[in-house]
Every structure is written in C-alpha cells, then in structure tokens.
Amino acid sequence: MISPELLRRFPFFAYLTDEQLASLAMIGEEVEFPAGQILVEECAETDALYLLTEGTADIFFTIQDDKTNTIRHFVVGEITSGEPFGISALIEPYQHTSSVKAQTDCKAIKLDAVQLRQLVEQDATLAKVLLKQIVKAALDRLNNTRIQLAAAWA
C-alpha cells in the first residue's frame, strides 16, 4: 500500500477523486530498479501498470537480424518521471508491446494489473480517466516513433 498523496503528486492521476486515489493506493507499492535492469519485456504478460517517479528508462524493441544472425535493440523512446509504462495492463491481450530498460537507477509506483482491472470494472469513471491517460501516453509515444522514423529516412 502507498499513500494517496504520493499518487496525487503526478498529473497522470490529476483527474481522480479522493476515493479513487485511495482505491489505487490500496493496490499500489513503490518499487526500485537499478540502472541497466529490464523493467518489462516485449510480448510478456503485463503484471502491472507503472508510473516512473524517479530516473529515466528506455523504450526499445528487439529484432532478430537474419542476415547476421544477431539480435538488435532499437530504442524508440524514453520514459521520465511522471510517465507511465506497462500501459497494456488495461488493454487486451494484456501483453507488453515493447521492452523498458532502466537508464539510471529508477523508482516507480506499481499498480497490480489484476486488481487494477477489477477496480476499473467496478468504477466506470476511473476506467475512463485512466484509459484517457493511457491513450495520451500511447499517442505521444507513437508520435515520437513516427518522428524518429521520418528522421531515419531523411
């Protein structure tokens, strides 16, 4: 369990009521990751929605290069304090679409995915607010990836 006040500090949770913040705080915990640790892996089942509270992390994809028989990692974005990751926690099939690796020592709020899905099933307003924030994060990342792709072809 974490304090609702910790959640209240971040814009991601800004539109939630005191009751909703208290519900999320009940299923939340603070976690730490050392620099270099993989925080979530592409294609793995999503166990939690995270909000980075300290540090930075890279979003990357892994691709098998058949010509050289090597695995290559492509960094497509960065997560900084106040940004979510593991956003597939509320989106079926509940699998990560990319990997995340700590660039620096990181701290995050971890909201258990199963308990989070139960909460949003019981509270449509909570679902609406969280999904809006998740969609915003996904669109921001999509736009950043599009810009990187355009720059690579320029």
Chain mean position to CA 120: 17
Give residue 43's region: left, alpha or beta (phi > 0; psi -120 to 50): left
CA angle at 100 for the pair 95 and 104, rounded to the nearest 5°: 155
CA–CA distances in Å: residue 13 to residues 33, 58, 89, 134: 22, 22, 16, 11
Domain boundaries defined on the chain: 29-148
| Average per-residue pLDDT for the chain | 93
- Exposure string of 131-154, with b = 16+ CB inside 10 Å and e = fewer, is eebbeebeeebeeebeeeeeeeee
Mean pLDDT of 64-87: 89
Which has more pLDDT, 152 or 53?
53
Distance in angstroms (rounded) separating the CA atoms of residues 121 and 119: 5
Helix (H) or strand (E) holding 73: strand 70-79
- pLDDT confidence bin for 147, thresholds 50/70/90: confident
Q: Is the pLDDT of residue 48 over 90?
A: yes
Which has more pLDDT, 141 or 84?
84
- Name the fold adopted by 29-148: Jelly Rolls (2.60.120)
- pLDDT confidence bin for 35, thresholds 50/70/90: very high
Distance in angstroms (rounded) separating the CA atoms of residues 68 and 53: 39
As a whole-number percent, the residues of the chain with pLDDT over 90 amount to 77
Residue of 138, 120, 114 whose CA lies nearest to 16: 120
- Residue labelled with tokens 């209240």: 8
